[in-house]
A = this chain, B = another copy of it.
Amino acid sequence: MKVRTASMPTLRLTPLAALEQAAECLKTLAHPHRLRIVQMLLQGRYTVGELAEACEIPSHMASEHLRLMQRCGFLTSEKDGRKNFYQIAEQHLASIMGCIESRFGCVP
Where the two chains meet, the residues of A that have a C-beta atom closer than 8 Å to any C-beta of B are 1-2, 9, 11-16, 18-27, 29-36, 39-40, 43-44, 50, 53-56, 92, 95-96, 99-106
Contact = CB atoms under 8 A, between A and B. Distances in A.
Contact of A26 (B9, B20, B30, B55): B30
Copies per assembly: 2
A32 B24 CA distance: 9
A54 to B, nearest CB: 7
Given A21-B104, A96-B99, A96-B103, 6 more contacts: A11-B44, A13-B40, A19-B104, A26-B30, A92-B102, A95-B102
B14 A101 contact: yes
A5 B39 CA distance: 20
